[in-house]
Structure 1
Amino acid sequence: MSMVPWNPFSELETLLDRYQRLSGKSTQSPSGREAMKVNDWSPAVDISETAEEYLIKAELPEIRKEDVKVTVEEGVLTIQGERKYESEDKNRKHHRVERFYGSFARSFHLPEDTDTSAIRAEFADGMLNLHLPKMEKPTSRSVEIDIS
């Protein structure tokens, strides 16, 4: 088991993120401008690692793969898309709507050893699996230099 440094602000960030997701509000800067854009919702992800690759699993239920876009730019992987609200049925009364609809985006800074040219994406049963292979790290070798 590897040691993870404790970040005292991570719990505060998690609490703020939950508040923003539930209330649909954004963080305002002192000038009144929007300091951080908050999407309509944000899919849950799991990130794991093996010796060969990193794996990002994103839950995207009831979303078509055509409505999802994955990009990598300057070491940042972004998953974005939209879950569309079901059309209104005049014969149906909704008693509770708890699922999130609308646009979403999640971004992740990639580790330096990620081979961005070989990323694979699989989409099945509402799960997006992104396989991010690792590159071989160059081995440092010791070379003796003759002094003349």
Structure 2
Amino acid sequence: MNLLKRNGNAGMGFPGLFFDDIFGRELFNWENGNFSTTSTTLPSVNIRESADHFEVEVAAPGMDKNDFSVTLEENTLTISSGKEQNENTQEGYYTRREFSYQSFQRSFELPKNVVDEDQISARYENGLLLLTIPKKEEAKQKPPRLIEIS
């Protein structure tokens, strides 16, 4: 089971599922959610699946845990941030500014009837927002069972 990035293929003229499955969701999405209107990239995301849970890692250095909002509506997990960027400081003004803190939103579709929604947890450490999404007991992989032949 994979966590799927929610992606609108409307108006693109391609049958979305066919190309998504073969080429990956980002390839034909020219309005893709990894870039903002200011041409800066949004935080990158890693998703790892184990037998017991999914782990989502969002690369967001320089932010604070209070800058994030994580919501779950039906089976859509949404991670967003609205960090404001201060233009001036008490020590002076910037002559060059390459750090970009802007609002963003990333949404992922959770597999139906697989995750334990009540046990999802999140923490922020060392520049990463880390979410742990446990699987329901019945969805966990079971070891192979040896069937005795009589």
Identity of aligned residues (%): 28
Q: Cα RMSD over matched residues?
A: 2.8
- Per-residue CA deviations over 1:112-132 (Å, capped at 9, x if unaligned) read 201111001111122111000
Q: Provide the secondary structure at the position in 2 that maps to 1:55.
A: strand
Deviation at 1:49, TM superposition (A): 0.4
TM-score by length of 1: 0.66
Higher relative contact order (CA 8 A, sep 6+): 2
Relative to structure 1, is the Cα distance of residues 8 and 60 closer, same or farther in structure 2, using a 3 angstrom cutoff? closer
Q: After TM superposition, list the pairs within 5 Å mapping 1:85-124 onto structure 2.
A: 85-89=85-89, 91-95=92-96, 97-112=97-112, 113-124=114-125
**Is the CA contact 2:52–2:134 (under 8 Å) kept in the aligned structure 1?**
yes
Q: After TM superposition, list the pairs within 5 Å mapping 1:62-73 onto structure 2.
A: 62-73=62-73
Q: Provide the secondary structure at the position in 1 that maps to 2:27.
A: helix
2:80 counterpart of 1:80: yes
CA distance in 1, matches of 2:25, 2:120: 31
Relative to structure 1, is the Cα distance of residues 129 and 99 closer, same or farther in structure 2, using a 3 angstrom cutoff? same
Q: Quote the residue 1:24 is aligned against.
A: 38
The number of residues matched between the two structures is 118
CA distance in 1, matches of 2:76, 2:59: 19
| Structure 1: runs of 5 or more not aligned | 26-39, 139-148
Q: Provide the secondary structure at the position in 2 that maps to 1:99.
A: coil
CA distance in 2, matches of 1:132, 1:19: 22
**Is the CA contact 1:77–1:110 (under 8 Å) kept in the aligned structure 2?**
yes
Relative to structure 1, is the Cα distance of residues 9 and 47 closer, same or farther in structure 2, using a 3 angstrom cutoff? closer
Question: Rg larger in 1 or in 2?
Answer: 1
Deviation at 1:20, TM superposition (A): 4.7
**Is the CA contact 1:41–1:102 (under 8 Å) kept in the aligned structure 2?**
no
TM-score by length of 2: 0.65
Relative to structure 1, is the Cα distance of residues 46 and 52 closer, same or farther in structure 2, using a 3 angstrom cutoff? same
Q: Provide the secondary structure at the position in 2 that maps to 1:137.
A: helix
